Each structure stands twice: as structure tokens, then as C-alpha cells.
Copies of this chain bind each other. A is one copy, B any other.
Amino acid sequence: MSLHLQSLTITDQFWSHYRELVRTEMIPYQWNVLNDNADITIEKERNDNSIPSEKSHAIENFKIAAGLKQGNHYGWVFQDSDVYKWLEAVAYSLSIHADTELQELADGVIDLIALAQEEDGYLNTYFSIEEPERRFKKLAESHELYCAGHFIEAAVAYYESTHNEKALQIACRLADCIDASFGKGEHQIQGYDGHEEIELALTKLYSLTKEQRYLNLSRYFLYERGTDTTFFARQQTEDTGTKPVIAGMSHRPLEYYQAHQPILEQQTAEGHAVRLVYMCAAMADVALLAGDTAMLEACRRLWKNMITKRMYITGGIGSTVDGEAFTLDYDLPNDTMYCETCASIGLIFFAFNMLKNEARSEYADVLERALYNTAIGGMALDGKHFFYVNPLEVRPENSRKDPGKSHVKFTRPEWFGCACCPPNLARLLTSLHKYIYTVQSEQKAIYTNLFITSTATLEIDHHKVQLEQTTNLPWEGHVSIVTQTEQPTAFTLALRLPYWADDYSLIVNGEHIEAENINGFLHIDRVWQSNDKIEFVLPMEIKQYTAHPLVRADIGKVAIGRGPFIYCAEEVDNGEHLHLIQLNKDQTYQYTFDPQLLGGIGTIHVEARKRIITSQWEDVLYASQAATTYAPTTLRLIPYYCWANRQSGEMRVWHNQT
């Protein structure tokens, strides 16, 4: 009995647009940035003179490390990872769309990386060029294993796409070097990186190569984490370097690195949000691959804390700019948060790896929430401008004049000195096909996580089965799946009933059927034949969401959603001072698809609502017995992901309600 997903082709209009943008805009653009050819403005993500931002220098760093050029390393200590993430996106892109020229370019980069790799497999341009004596000696800051992880991920993807063995060989040599250097042996370092990433990369390398050492090493790093809480401090004390690896980073508490407790003991999602979700994604993979139930239980605990107490309605995570971090339960300020694009991407990784462990729709619901809102909101519709920080409430004047909001941009800059988000988006979008289904081979079940027009080819008991999914989502809630089989084949097709659908109708070959809802998936067990057709209709009602009352920032407010999208109001449609808008308790909403607006989007019109009049307040700041007076107007809402694609101005997700 076996069931495997062999290939998946996305033909969806909504998503093909994004994937094409990656191929035609982002990958060439990023290549120019990596080579310092681009005529672009590199924006600092914060006002901090210690941030290197004049150029990328990333390819140049490799040439210097490879001995092809003289010079010094420039940029962040983790600058290499920009190249690796580009390479990973290229790998996925080549699997979608063959491109000999691009493949040759990537092959050349791999050749260059091979030259930069040291004899023992070590690979990191900063330390090779500048401070070889500090190798693995400042792991809290050094990002050496983080960069290694990104290379390994890229190499696995590149091998799967192109069968180029060179990248994979570099990856294995690098993994072997790390494996030799870390562990409980006498001459080994008993520790872990300051930024989780190697752990999830090693599970991918294991899945491809089946080399048990790689899975063991990933588990080692996860279990070692937070066990000896003096590790970073000891390295700090013993470090003989005269300059910081990353300036101003040494004050971070251990929670920032999720190194304050052994991971199985951690009860809440703490610290740097990207680090946390990368760690959790690795934990979920290790739980699956090693059958580690204690690890799975820890994943469930951290998931539950994050999703039920620390996640924005847009799928954003990270409530504070200081440490780009979680703060505490229900602390979800809308205008000072971080909600880094990369953190939502990491959340998608975590959610997907949980789905592989257990088919629960809540994982896919969150995956969808993060994907359709914060992740794609992180890039402009032109594919060339990017947000690092994804606010739920912006007023440009406040970002300009309140230092506490200076990190909240109101237009997407072209590039960042710390360029993690754009290439992370590129690799997510080009690998999106991986997230549509999960399979449970033993139960012979295939789970539909996302509704995206696509063709999937499965192998079930050595016979091919095709699933042709056609949908007009995300705008309308109709999904049809047509099966093609070599011979009648029994398997379970499970459809996610999304959180935003209160109801559904399910028609198989013209007949309404009832399907068992198991953990949010509707299970259809059947012997499938060619041209069997499922029609799955989801009502797309406009939803008025309220937050848990302990979310102080959202008390008395509502957010509007339809289908997977959370909507927002922009100043360009609604005038300034969006907080003066007061929705009624029994508000009605009207949906219209506007093919002319922002490439074609569904908009929501609100007729009966009030705007507070301020005219009688001239020169008065506080008044007693002041009656609030209102003027009627209309309000237009657009999906959150496409805000800030017109003129700059205010934006707001949570609307006041009276």
C-alpha cells in the first residue's frame, strides 16, 4: 500500500502571476543586487549606523573567499544566505519553467561556492576571509550554521530540480564538517547556532540522502538547545576576537534565541519570531522523521500558544520591533508590531510540517492565513518592492515623527541591507506547489490543504492518478476536482473545510454527498475512476471578526474578511483619520469584484457607517459632556495583501465599532 505525490503543476491565475513575477522580475533583480549591478536604493531596516547597507557584495564575498579576487568581506556576517536563498528560488523556478541560461548562471554560482568551500567542508565567506580563527566560536551571533542551513536547503532543491550533484556534494561535505565539529565528543563543540535553520535543512538533506547522521545531527542541535544555558555566555567569555560579529547584539536574553530552556520544556513562543518558527518547523520534521512523539507534543504546545494567543489576524507574528520578537499572550498592538514577512513564511513552514504529522485543518487554516495576507503583502504587485514589517495600522505622519513607529514603513522599499525577506518570498512562491496537498501513505489518503488551480500526479500502489483541481478561489468559493486514473483506485480524498466557511456543499458526480469531518477535513473514501468529478462549494460570506477580549489593542474593534483574505481600509479610498470611522453593530457589507483595480481584486463596500465629526473640537483637547456627532459616508475595503500599491497614506485592518 503506498501513495506518493509525484508532481504538481500550478496553473492558477492568482498564483501564476506571483510565480511569474518571481521568475521574470525577482530572480533577475536579485541577481543584479547580489552582484551590485542594480541601480537601486538599499534601505536600512532600522536607523542604525552599524547596519551595512551600501551594497550587497554577496557574490564578491564568494569570489574573495574563493581566492579569485583580493579584498575584504562586506555586509552582514550572514550575507552568504542571500545567495543561497536566490539559488533555492532558482531551483524551484527551473522546476516550473526550464531556462538553460538561468541554469548555467546557477551552475556557475555553485562552482564559485565550491571554490569558496574550505578543504574540510567548512563554508562561510565572512569567517574564511576575515576571521578564520573565530570559526564556530561566537555562535550566538555568527550565523554560521544558519548560512550552512540555507545552502543545504538550496542544494537539496537544486538537486531535486536539476540533478546537479555538485551542489549536493558541497552540502554533504558541509554537513559532514558540522557533524564532525559538533556533538558530545571530546573535541567537539557542545552547542548550537544563535539562529535556528541548520536543523530544518538537515532534515531535508536526510530526506533526500537517507543519511541517518544528518537526522541525528538535527535532533542533536534541537535537544542541545537551551540545555546548557551557559553556552553562549561561555563562548562570549572565551572569544578572543576584538570586534563584535554583529554590533549591539550581545545584550539579547536567552529567550531571544529560544535557548532559555530545553525545547521540550518551553511552554510559550518566545523571542525572535523567525528563529522560533524555524526551530518549530525543524522540530515538526524531526518528530515525523524520527517518530519522536515528545517532540511532536512540544510542537503542538508551542503551536497552540502562538496561534491562540500571539498571532495577528493577518498571520503575522512578532509583537515588538525590539528583537523582532514575541512579547506576551494577547499583546498584539497593531501599529508598533513587527510581523516580519520572513516570520510568516517560517510560520507557513511550521504549519506545513505539522500537516505532515497530523491532518488537522487548523494548520492549513493558519498556513493559508499567513500566505494570503502577510506573506504576499510583503511584496508589491510589481514584484520589486518589499516590506520587512507588516503593520495592521499605519499613519505615515506617525511613522515619520514617532520614533517608536519609525520601523513601520508605509511604502515598500526596493531592498534592505538585511535582505532576508525578498529572497525568502521568492523561494516560498516558487515552491508553493509543495503546500497544496499532503499525503498519508499508510492511510492511503490525500489531503487538500489549499485550493489552487493545479494538476497533481500521484502514484498509488504503482499506478498513476491525476487530480485536476480547478477553482475560482480566492475570489469565489467553487472548487472542482476531476480524477484521472489508470484503473479504478481506492483512496481517500480529504478536503479542508476552511475556517472562513460556515457551511459547504459537496457534490460527487452530480450527487450531493455527506462526508465525515475529521479534524476539519471532509473525507471522501471511494474507488476513484477517470473523470470522477467533485464539486466543493464554499459560501464566501463577508465576515466580521472580533478578537479575544484580552487583546487590548482590538477591544471594541472588528476586522473584515472574505474567504482567505483579511481586508483593510486605505486613505486613498476613504480619506484620512481612518480611526474616526465607526462601524455599526449590525453593519451590512457588499462585495464587488473590480477587474480594473490593482490587477483585479474583490472589494467590500460599507454603506451604513459613521465618521466622527471633529469640527466642534477646534482648540479643545479634553471636554466633558461632549456629544459625539457623526456624518454618514461610505467605506471601501481592499484585501490586506495589496495595500500600499497606490499612493501612500493611512491603512487600517481593525475598525472601531459602536
Contact = CB atoms under 8 A, between A and B. Distances in A.
Interface of A: 49, 251, 304, 307-309, 311, 313, 319-323, 325, 327-328, 331, 336, 395, 397-398, 401-404, 543-552, 555-556, 559, 561, 577, 579-580, 612-614, 617, 619-626, 628, 656, 658
Contact of A622 (B403, B547, B552): B547
Contacts of A614: 548-550
Given A549-B580, A579-B552, A658-B658, A401 B619 contact: no
Contacts of A545: 622-624
Contacts of A613: 549
A487 to B, nearest CB: 44
Nearest to A560: B624
B403 A323 contact: yes
A416 B605 CA distance: 54
The 10 nearest A-B residue pairs measured at CB: A322-B403, A328-B401, A543-B624, A327-B402, A549-B612, A548-B617, A552-B579, A546-B626, A545-B622, A308-B619
B550 A577 contact: yes
Contacts of A395: 552
Given A313-B622, A327-B398, A327-B401, 18 more contacts: A307-B621, A308-B619, A308-B620, A311-B621, A322-B403, A322-B404, A331-B398, A395-B552, A546-B628, A548-B614, A548-B617, A549-B612, A549-B617, A549-B628, A550-B614, A550-B617, A551-B621, A556-B556
Contact of A619 (B304, B552, B559): B304
A397 B327 CA distance: 10
Contacts of A656: 555-556
A93 B544 CA distance: 62
A360 to B, nearest CB: 13
A656 B322 CA distance: 29
A311 B308 CA distance: 37
B624 A544 contact: yes
A625 B502 CA distance: 11
Contacts of A325: 403
Contacts of A544: 624-625
Contact of A402 (B319, B551, B579): B319
B622 A328 contact: no
Contacts of A320: 402-404
A639 to B, nearest CB: 17
A616 to B, nearest CB: 10
A623 B313 CA distance: 10
A506 to B, nearest CB: 22
Contacts of A623: 545-546
A307 B656 CA distance: 27
A170 to B, nearest CB: 39
Nearest to A629: B549
Contacts of A552: 395, 579
B658 A621 contact: no
A418 to B, nearest CB: 19
Nearest to A551: B621
Nearest to A557: B556
A520 to B, nearest CB: 14
5 contacts: A320-B403, A321-B404, A322-B404, A328-B401, A546-B626
A397 B550 CA distance: 13
A286 to B, nearest CB: 26
Contacts of A620: 308, 548
A617 B546 CA distance: 11
A309 B626 contact: no
A398 to B, nearest CB: 6
Contacts of A322: 403-404
A328 B398 contact: yes
Contacts of A621: 307-309, 311, 313, 547-548, 551
Nearest to A309: B621
A39 to B, nearest CB: 29
A328 B402 contact: yes
A582 to B, nearest CB: 8
A561 to B, nearest CB: 8
A221 B321 CA distance: 39
Nearest to A369: B622
B556 A658 contact: yes
A310 B340 CA distance: 31
A309 B621 CA distance: 6
A650 B121 CA distance: 56
Could you say which of A404, A577, A619 has the most chain B C-beta atoms within 10 Å of its C-beta? A404
A603 to B, nearest CB: 19
Contacts of A546: 622-624, 626, 628
